[in-house]
Each structure stands twice: as structure tokens, then as C-alpha cells.
Amino acid sequence: MLSERPRGGKPATATPGTQENPMGRFIAFLYGLASYAVFFATFLYAIGFVSGLGVPKTIDTGTVVPMAQACIANLLLMSVFAVQHSVMARKPFKQWWTQFVPASVERSTYVLFSSLALVLLFWQWRPMPALVWQVADPHIAMAVTGLSFAGWLIVLTSTFLINHFELFGLHQVASNLAGRAMPAPRFRTPLYYRFVRHPLYLGFIIAFWAAPTMTAGRLLFAAVTTAYIVVGILLEERDLVALFGDDYRRYKNRVSMLVPWRKSA
Ligand SMILES: C[S@@+](CC[C@H](N)C(=O)[O-])C[C@H]1O[C@@H](n2cnc3c(N)ncnc32)[C@H](O)[C@@H]1O
């Protein structure tokens, strides 16, 4: 879903686009912090939006319009996010726009635009309240909600296992501020990554599908985002093989993609 991080080649090199001017570096750092704050608020809102808890506008609230109209509007909103999130993550796009945006804040800007695309989706989402399923037993319903929150927790903890601060651009602006080089990307397989290659995406899938009440709107959201995740994995793995070579190829042979069972050794 979130895709490529800036790579900058195998050896650690000076942060590309490092500003010489200390004030410029400081402003870049503040911008990175602000983008991160917007991301974090959006992430928290997303939990409420999908679960229907604790936020004013959820996936199942708002003005009800005819089903086809709602479906088209929602597909458009998800497409805006998908196009922004995928296109801005591709190397040719990065090469083009880092002519205008300093490379040190490229990731923060990507994170900011992704968050804004999500805010637009939350704001403009049209509810589709038709009931697909509903868990009648309150204890089971609570357990399903708990499973959904476990999915969100897996998402957040996976970002820390990979590199939370680099993924959301803070590492880049902090290194730029300190005039330090960004370290070369490292292949990691900690904790969940021993069981599945994409725990973060698995967390999203669990969070979206574990619904005690599944409406047509949430079903549309879960189905489209799951399809987007699967396509995203194919693109991400192409980059990971290019970056980590045989290490990643062997990992692919050993560990399954999303379903946590061990492949035969
Ligand atoms: C949003 S994270 C998602 C990581 C992974 N796909 C997941 O679902 O847990 C995407 C970034 O993680 C990086 N990445 C994915 N797997 C990795 C691994 N095993 N070691 C290091 N970086 C990885 C990718 O290069 C990409 O920049």
C-alpha cells in the first residue's frame, strides 16, 4: 500500500538534496515533523472511520444517495488515493519531481499527499448502508471488533519492525538537519516477517474485513483495498528483488506472502 522508500543506491551516501543553508535544513525538518503529525492524525482517524467508533464521520455515516451514485463516487475517491500513492512512489516520478522538491523532503511530501488523499476520502465518502452481514451474538461481535483492532496494531508495529521513521520521512529530514548520510537500506525479517512477507498489509486486510456489521460500503472498501494491496505487493516485490537480490529471492521461497504458514524449508 505505502510503497517504495527512497533508496539512493547501495552504499550510504550523503543525503541527496541536502540543503547547505542551516535555516533551510531547519525548515525542512519542521515540514517533515508537520507531515508526520498529519499522517499520524490521519492514521488514527482511519481506525475510527473504518470501525465506526469515536469519529464524527465514518464509513457508514453521511448523506445517503442512490447506491450506484455512491458506488461511483467511492470508487473515484479510492482511485485518487491509489493513483497518488502508486505514481508518486515510482522512480521516474521521483526523479522528475525532485527537480522541484528537495530530495530530503521527498518522502515527507509523499506522506503528506497520501494523508490528504485519505482525508478527501473520509470527507467525501458516501455511505452504502445495505446490510451484507451482522454478527448477532454481542460477545462474538466484540471479538470480531477486537480482531479488527489487532489488525491495526499489526499495521503500526510492522512499521516499527521495518523502519517507522524512515517510512514516514522523519529519518530523512533529521539526517538532513544533522548533515548526516542516510544509511543504505537493509533487508529485515524480524518477528512477523518470519511468518509472512507482508505483515503490514495483512494487518490492513484483517482490520478491513473483521467487521461485526458489514455494510455494502465497507465491503466495497475492503474488496477494493485488498485488490490494491495484492497489486502493490507484486510491484513492491519486484523492487525488493532488484534491491536485495538473492536474499529476497530465497526469502520468497521460504516464507509465504500473506497467509501465515511456513513454506517447506
Ligand atoms: C509500507 S512498507 C510495507 C512492508 C511490507 N510490504 C509489509 O507489508 O509488511 C513498504 C516498504 O517496506 C520495504 N520492505 C518491505 N519488506 C522489507 C524487508 N523484508 N526488509 C526491508 N525493507 C522491506 C519496501 O521496500 C518498502 O519501501
pTM here? 0.89
Cβ atoms within 10 Å of 131's Cβ, excluding its own: 9
ipTM rounded to 2 decimals: 0.97
- CB distance 28 to 109 below 8 Å: no
pLDDT at 10: 39
**Where do the domains of the chain lie?**
22-254
- Which of 165, 236, 241 is the pocket-test mutation for ligand 1 (most atoms within 8 Å of CB)? 236
Mean per-residue pLDDT over the chain, rounded: 91
Report CA(233)–ligand 1 centroid distance (Å).
9
With vertex at residue 224, the alpha carbon angle to CA 76 and CA 86, rounded to the nearest 5 degrees, is 70
- Which residues are near ligand 1 (CB < 6 Å)? 2, 4-5, 158, 162, 167, 187-189, 193, 198-201, 236, 239-240
Smallest Cα–Cα separation from 151: which of 196, 101, 110? Answer: 196
Ligand 1 atom having least distance to the Cα of 5: 27
Q: How far apart are the CA of 162 and the centre of ligand 1, in A?
A: 6
71: Cβ contacts below 8 Å, ≥ 6 apart: 128, 220
Per-residue pLDDT tens for 2-18? 444 433 333 344 444 45
Distance between Cα 82 and ligand 1 center (Å) = 18
248-260: per-residue pLDDT in tens? 999 999 999 999 8
Grid cell 541527496 — which residue? 16
Distance from C-alpha of 17 to C-alpha of 169, rounded to nearest angstrom: 14
| Per-residue model confidence (pLDDT) at position 206 | 98
- Over the stretch 140-162, which tens digit does the pLDDT of each residue have? 999 999 999 999 999 999 999 99
Burial class (CB in 10 A: 0-12, 13-18, 19+), 256: middle
| pLDDT of 263 | 62
Could you identify the residue written with the cell 498489509?
Answer: 201
204-245 pLDDT, tens digit per residue, is 999 999 999 999 999 999 999 999 999 999 999 999 999 999
- Residue 178 Cα to ligand 1 midpoint, Å, equals 26
Judge contact between 141 and 212, C-beta under 8 A.
yes
